[in-house]
Amino acid sequence: MITHPVYSYSLCIALPLMLFFGFYFIFAPVPDKAIFGNYLRSRRIMGTALLLLAANYAVHFFVEIRFRNVNAAILMNLSTYFLCYWLFSSALTTLLDRFYITRRRFVVHVCQWLLFTALSGVVLLGLPDGLIQKAGLLVMGVWLVAYGLVLARRLILAYRRAVRLFDDTRSDDVGAYIRWMSVFTYWAVIFGVGCGLLTFLPDEYIYIWILSSVPFYIFLYYSYMNYLLFYEQVERAFESEMPLEDKNMGEALPEEEHELPSCYVEIGEKLSAWIESDGYLTLGLTLKELAEISKTNRTYLSAYIKQTYQLSFREWIASLRLEYAKRMLLQNPELTVAEIAEKSGFQSASHFIRLFKENENCSPARWRKNESGQNCL
């Protein structure tokens, strides 16, 4: 007999999904290439976290521990969340930094989890109900939230570092392929803190905690599936550019315009000739390729672009391509927007239209109809 129907039905919805996602992440195949090894490791870590959460749900469903011993249920939830926080953050951070997981870091986090679980057990099972126990629970809750926020901050910093690296070295918007990690992280912070609070809800509202997880994990599953399509491109970008960044981190570059080195004059002349020849239309152009064409150092070339144009390499190339596309729109009315996007070096027509709207506040087609674009606003 089902004594708590809403609670049980919500678990019936969430538990099969969690099991499917967990086993899929661990066992589903990936392309048979060495470069996908890091993606597979990340996905298996995520799958382990999902199966741990599924085990938590299973205990709630089959044992109904929430209604037998509420303190034991809260202890199980807090311990599971603490461990899964690290597994979630490690899985995503590994996609941005293959060297993130080390033996030392693993031991540190496992010890923190064991300590947190032990102290939570003392508070929930060892202390009598009353003010002292509530104060202890508050401390454990703050600890859990703070731990999650620290992990989220570390992941966001790794994400921003990766986006900055791509913007400074690639003309294509490679950072768009990992943007889902930023969305997921912020959502995870809200969801994780929310789960911690929902754990203490009265019994009749606990189904909210369970159902709130469904869209969260569906988004995670979809994101990993979609990222598989672009992972190789992103990882190769990491492999080609990370050594450059590490190597040049110690190089001192002038920050004021009046301190520009004499070689910048030569760099400017070479870039002007390159722009005149429409070299920026090359698909997949990288800073490394432009440095080789200009016969200059990538570090100085990147600094020159930032100081002269106040733009990253990607933004600078995009601005050149947009100006070229505008000329094409006016001079070649027989060409479609998609054809102009391709001829202007953009990844796709949709990417071109989005950038055009951001810069001109209207679509390329409307801008063309208005000839000079004066009436776009």
Q: Is the pLDDT of residue 35 over 80?
A: yes
Interval 115-173: pLDDT, tens:
999 999 999 999 998 899 989 988 998 899 899 999 999 999 999 999 999 999 999 88
How far is the C-alpha of 364 from the C-alpha of 357, rounded, in Å? 8
pLDDT band at 211 (very low <50, low <70, confident <90, very high): confident
Q: What pLDDT score was predicted for residue 161? A: 92
Q: Long-range contacts for 139-143 (Cβ within 8 Å, ≥24 apart)?
A: 140/78, 140/116, 141/78, 141/196, 141/197, 143/116
How far is the C-alpha of 240 from the C-alpha of 242, rounded, in Å? 6
How far is the C-alpha of 329 from the C-alpha of 368, rounded, in Å? 6
pLDDT band at 371 (very low <50, low <70, confident <90, very high): low
Half-sphere exposure of 332 (CA within 13 A, CB side): 16
Q: For every residue of 241-274, which 3-state class applies, written as one string?
A: HHHHHHHHCCCCCCCCHHHCCCHHHHHHHHHHHH
Per the prediction, the chain carries an average pLDDT of 86
The string of DSSP codes covering 168-232 is HHBSS-GGGGGHHHHHHHHHHHHHHHHHHHHTTS-GGGTHHHHHTHHHHHHHHHHHHHHHTTTHH
Q: What pLDDT score was predicted for residue 1? A: 40
Highest-confidence segment of 67-71, 139-143, 262-266, 371-375? 139-143
Residue carrying the six token digits 């993130």: 100
Residue 76: closest CA among 53, 97, 93: 53
Q: Is the pLDDT of residue 5 over 90?
A: no
Domains of the chain, first to last: 5-239 (1.20.1070), 253-310 (no CATH), 313-377 (1.10.10.60)
Instruction: Identify residue 115 by its one-letter amino acid code.
Output: L
Share of the chain above pLDDT 90, in %: 52
